[in-house]
Amino acid sequence: MPSLNLMVHISSNDISEIVRHCVGETPNEACGLLIGSGDTIHFVRSARSQRPSPYEFTMEPKDILTIDQEAETKGLEIVGLYHSHTMTDAYPSQTDIAACPDDRWFHFLVSLKAKPYKVRAYRIVGSSVEVVAISASDGREGSFAPLWSL
Ligand SMILES: [Zn+2]
């Protein structure tokens, strides 16, 4: 049983922004950063991948720096990242686990394999993956054909 003790708070608008970015980058994986405080995400920023690929992402260091500076000027910090899987499930790959930069970060994964797109959150501590429950603050967009589901 996954532990549901961990929870992250984010607005559904921010989730939609993440998903739209991921859709826009297909067939390549998209990536970006989550800015906030503690377990609450205040806003999200897309980043470029150094070598755009359908199989992996390598976040552009210049983008990380710019986003980190923006977070700092707002009294916030980078609390996580997101990226997409265009053909597989919303679960961290072995590469994602090995490349995780910070075990306190929330790791959002968007699967574009099928509609509605799936959004899941994790924390990657060492080689173990913990499920994080997503609390979306203001409902979901589009009741008939939602872009994403949790
Ligand atoms: Zn991945």
Measured between alpha carbons, how far is 87 from 122 in angstroms, rounded to an integer? 19
Mean pLDDT per 10-residue interval, the chain, length 150 residues: 75 94 97 97 97 94 98 98 97 92 93 96 94 85 72
Does any domain span residue 93?
A: yes
Q: Name residues with Cβ closer than 5 Å to ligand 1, which is an ion.
A: 93, 96
pLDDT of residue 143: 53
142 alpha carbon – ligand 1 mean position (Å): 27
pTM: 0.92
| Residue 149, beta-bridge partner list | 118
Structurally, how many domains does the chain consist of? 1
**Which of 32, 33, 26, 82 lies closest to 55 in space, CA to CA?**
26
Does any domain span residue 89?
A: yes
Is the Cα dihedral 22, 23, 29, 30 positive or negative?
negative
The catalytic residue among 29, 60, 72, 77 is 29
Domain containing 75 equals 7-139
pLDDT of residue 142: 53
CATH of the domain at 76: 3.40.140.10
What single DSSP character describes residue 53?
A: -
Does any domain span residue 144?
A: no
Judge whether 141 counts as a catalytic residue.
no
Does any domain span residue 83?
A: yes
92 alpha carbon – ligand 1 mean position (Å): 5
